A and B are shown apart, each in its own frame.
Chain A
Amino acid sequence: MFSDSYSFPHPVLGVADDIEGEFNFSVCIERRGEERVVYFKSKKLEIKNDYISKLVNEGYVDFVLSIYCGATYQSWVSYGTDDSFIPEDQLASRIEVQPLLVTRKDIPNYYDKSFNSDYEQNHFSLVKSEIVGVSGKKVLPIEKIDERLGFGSIFKWKQTDAEKSVEYYLESDQIEITYPVKRDNDDPISYLFKIKPWTSYSIFILPALEEAFRYMKDAKGSAERFDWYWVLSELLPEDERTPSPFVNAQRVIKDFHPLQEVYFEH
Chain B
Amino acid sequence: MKKNIKYLSRECCQNLLSSLGELNQIKKYKRGFELEEFDFIDGISPANINSQIVLDPSPKADFENSKLVFEELKNLDLVQANDQRLWVTLTHITFFDYTFSRWDENKEWSKRKIQDRFHFLGGKIDTRVRNALSRLWWAARITYDETREDPYELTKLLWETQDIFQGLLERKYGAYPQVVKGFLEFYRRNKQLKQNEIRTIFSGLNSIGGVKHLPLLDSKDIMLEIANISNFRNIKFNL
Q: Is the CB of A152 within 8 A of B215?
A: no
Q: Is the CB of B42 within 8 A of A7?
A: no
Binds A, one of B57-65, B95-103, B170-178: B170-178
Asked whether A64 and B176 contact (CB < 8 A) given A89-B79, A93-B82, A130-B211, the answer is no
Asked whether A7 and B210 contact (CB < 8 A) given A71-B82, A73-B174, the answer is yes
Contacts of B7 in A (CB 8 A): 148
A201 CA to B43 CA, complexed, in Å:
10
A25 CA to B7 CA, complexed, in Å:
43
A210 CA to B46 CA, complexed, in Å:
19
Tally of contacts, chain A with chain B, CB under 8 A: 106
Query: B55 at the A/B interface (Cβ < 8 Å)?
Result: no
Interface readout for A71-90 with B: 1 if CB under 8 Å, 0 if not?
A: 11111010000000000111
Contacts of B128 in A (CB 8 A): 71, 73
Query: B10 at the A/B interface (Cβ < 8 Å)?
Result: yes
Which of A90, A131, A261 is within 8 Å of B212, CB to CB?
A131
A130 CA to B81 CA, complexed, in Å:
34
Contacts of A91 in B (CB 8 A): 78-79
Contacts of B19 in A (CB 8 A): none
Query: B217 at the A/B interface (Cβ < 8 Å)?
Result: yes
Query: B125 at the A/B interface (Cβ < 8 Å)?
Result: yes
Q: Is the CB of A6 within 8 A of B210?
A: yes
Give residues 82-134 of B contacting A (CB, 8 Å): 82, 122-125, 128
Q: Is the CB of B141 within 8 A of A75?
A: no
Asked whether A149 and B123 contact (CB < 8 A) given A6-B210, A64-B216, A102-B213, the answer is no
Asked whether A73 and B123 contact (CB < 8 A) given A91-B79, A234-B2, the answer is no
Contacts of A102 in B (CB 8 A): 213, 216
Interface readout for A194-236 with B: 1 if CB under 8 Å, 0 if not?
A: 0001100100000000000000000000000001001100110
Chain A residue with Cβ nearest B178: A75
Chain A residue with Cβ nearest B142: A73
Which of A69, A77, A153, A253 is within 8 Å of B44, CB to CB?
A253
Most buried by A among B42, B45, B48: B42
Contacts of A151 in B (CB 8 A): 44, 46
Contacts of A144 in B (CB 8 A): 79
A158 CA to B211 CA, complexed, in Å:
43
Q: Is the CB of B42 within 8 A of A148?
A: yes
Interface readout for A222-266 with B: 1 if CB under 8 Å, 0 if not?
A: 000001001100110000000000000000110000000100000
Interface readout for A118-149 with B: 1 if CB under 8 Å, 0 if not?
A: 00000000001111000000000000101011
Contacts of A75 in B (CB 8 A): 172, 175-176, 215
User: How close is A155's CB to chain B, nearest CB, in angstroms?
Assistant: 11
A70 CA to B81 CA, complexed, in Å:
13
A236 CA to B187 CA, complexed, in Å:
44
User: How close is A202's CB to chain B, nearest CB, in angstroms?
Assistant: 12
Asked whether A152 and B80 contact (CB < 8 A) given A64-B213, A66-B213, A102-B216, the answer is yes
**Can you list 23 A-B pairs with a CB-CB distance of less than 8 A?**
A8-B211, A64-B216, A70-B125, A70-B172, A72-B78, A73-B174, A75-B215, A89-B78, A89-B79, A90-B78, A91-B79, A92-B79, A129-B221, A130-B211, A131-B213, A148-B43, A149-B42, A149-B43, A151-B44, A152-B80, A227-B75, A231-B75, A235-B4
A residues whose Cβ falls under 8 Å from a Cβ of B: 6-9, 64, 66, 68-75, 77, 88-94, 100, 102, 128-131, 144, 146, 148-149, 151-153, 197-198, 201, 227, 230-231, 234-235, 252-253, 261
Beyond the given A71-B128, A73-B175, could you list 15 further A-B residue pairs with CB under 8 A, ordered by the A residue number? A6-B210, A9-B211, A71-B82, A89-B78, A92-B82, A93-B122, A102-B213, A148-B42, A149-B43, A153-B80, A201-B43, A231-B46, A231-B75, A252-B44, A253-B44
B residues whose Cβ falls under 8 Å from a Cβ of A: 2, 4, 7, 10, 41-46, 48, 75, 77-82, 122-125, 128, 138, 141-142, 172, 174-176, 210-213, 215-217, 221
